[in-house]
Structure 1
Amino acid sequence: MKKLLIILHDLSAGGAEKMMARLASALVDAGNDVTLLMLTGGGLHAAHLDPRVKKVELHSPRTVRAVPALARFLRANRFDAQLAALTHVNVVAIVAALLSGTLARLHVSERNAFSHDKHVNPDFMVRLAYLVAPLLYRLIPNPVICVSQGVAQDLINTTIARRQDVTIADNPVLDDDFRNKQPERPSHRWLLKKSGRVIVAVGRLAPQKGFDTLISAFASLPDANIRLIIFGEGTLREQLQNLARTLGVADRVDLPGYTNDPLAEVAAADCFVLSSRFEGSPNALVEALSTGTPVVSTRCPHGPQDILIGGLVAPLVAVDDPVALAQAIALQLSTSRDLQRQSRINAAARFMNACAVETYLAALLRRPSP
């Protein structure tokens, strides 16, 4: 049994937070003693954390101010490996590990395309973290764990990071028995009682997700009975609703907010769409594939091309191209739902907990890659 630590800012509704909570549980299933430490604390996924995972909250008012408390914790509790996630948390963890003498056991991870993600958060301290992180990644003893080959290559191409400074581990997106589980009933009224075909998308209502392109593509579909549901919260809600009104489809587009069970909603849909401008390794796409529901994705950097095997599993279209996106959606809706269903499910299987945990343990404990 190995003693492992995961370091996050909190367990809010983001994809990285969800994946780290899942990883903690999967590492416990694999026979390890796991602690999940939050620099601030709380968040939506805290209530769903496996009870076997030890939870520590430092209650720091800001991530950067958690350095002293984190250093004291690392000094008092020796772990076989420590894993931090998200760039600004990585920087805090590196400084704290250096102060506590535990740098040799620290591993950091990048969850998104660094060259794109660094422009998202305008906070000065976050921008500063993105500025210094690549230099620190050159200096720390362990390679940065990236969620996809594309994320790793982006870090190499756009920063001073070298090939030897990165390694790859898959996200633990799916339960090991996902093939045997029947989806729960959806919660959305359009999916519970369908009067026509329904397209579903899932993600933060933020520019990265490209939902403006999706709504534009949806508005150009010839069938006026098709509906679109976008599950998620974010700052662009009003802007997206205004766009739907301008395009005359407001009565057929719904933004109901966050959903506790996206798999249930996607499984009941006729098509899932990932319209992102950039990603790291899109978990929502993997979840959608696992249900067997037809999918369409942009060829965004990074992840979809790898997950969809270059378009063999499902259509890939250019980013910010509503015409191409509409054509791909129309093709999927006009094709038998069972066509390539098994291929979609098989593509998702790579991201089962047991498979992903082995890639993480190989990185954290310097084991041979599985």
Structure 2
Amino acid sequence: MNTRTWAAGAILAAAVIGWAGVSSAEDGELMRIGADAFGGGRAVDIDGAGIDDVAAGGGTVDLATDVSGSVHLLGRRVTVEGAVGGDLYAGGMEVRQRGAVAGDVTAMGYSIETGSIGGDLRVWGSSVIVGGPVAGYALLAGDEVRIDGVIAGDARIAARTLDFGPEARVEGVLTLLETDDTQLSVRDGIAARVEHRRISGMDEALDDLAPSPAALVWGFVRGVLVVTVLAALLAALLPGPLAGLRHRVLDQPLRSLWIGAMSVSVLIGGAVVAGLTLIGILAVPFLLLFAALLGFLGYVVGVYALGVSIVNRAGRGMPDGFGDRALAALAGALAAAVVALIPVLGWLFALGLALAGVGAMAIAWANPRFFAA
């Protein structure tokens, strides 16, 4: 499978996702462009004559008719009942291919079952069943793999458990990829040539990629310095507004926290809605980028407020000058970085700081009021 094939699949997948947002209200409705069919929704049934290529996505997707071209399907449950004249690309929790496919089949999901295939087979899943003949090679990766058909070419399999039905056979070379925890066995008559290849070197490769202790320390120090410098610059350039934000975070932490959470949720939710309208899909990356930048700026504000609280409790009083503000920024950045090292709780603490900072900015800019008379 070449790069052009993957690119075509990606383009058709994007079309499926976009069309799903338009047609979700009319389940089963198809859009036809020439001989090609596109569909999306909670339940998509693809039927009709004279269809060439198909691209569809939804909760359940059922191809109930024969098509002459290639098929791209995405969904929670995908079923192919009709014959496919080209290639099949499918992804979902459950993928069932019952109609014959003249070309290649590429499928990814949790539970996958294939039928008759005139080309090559490539499958990644948890439960994989090869239920029909494969005219080309087979590349199978799964937790549980079962072969009931005849594979005319080579087969390369990586699995935890491997079973063969009574009619199963591999006419080419059967290569079993094994680890220290998996030992796969093949009964006599399945394949004339069986190769066992151990997957080794993975642990060593991961060890090589793991950062050294010096790199970890430098990363920690660098993160503290970046946040300190940004907070100090904000304190120097905008001392009054930053003092107001700090005051809101310290005096109204819970209000700042939940308004910040609502503000970020509105931005992310707005990006999703904009994407579903298709017209506003170009605004999605900008909305997400703005949400990320706002969250980081909120973290800087929250860190500065934390540092001011620490410095004040240490007896130095509220900052009154660039030196005091820089010291407060350093104290807050260091304290936040240390707490962030705690598993789970550290992440929640950092998230709380960011949301509280965002909430303080939202209160300052919009002054939202709820349940007001």
Same fold (TM over 0.5): no
Larger Rg: 2
What's the TM-score once normalised by structure 1's chain length?
Answer: 0.26
Higher relative CO (Cα under 8 Å, sequence separation at least 6) belongs to 1
Q: Which structure shows the bigger proportion of residues in strand conformation?
A: 2
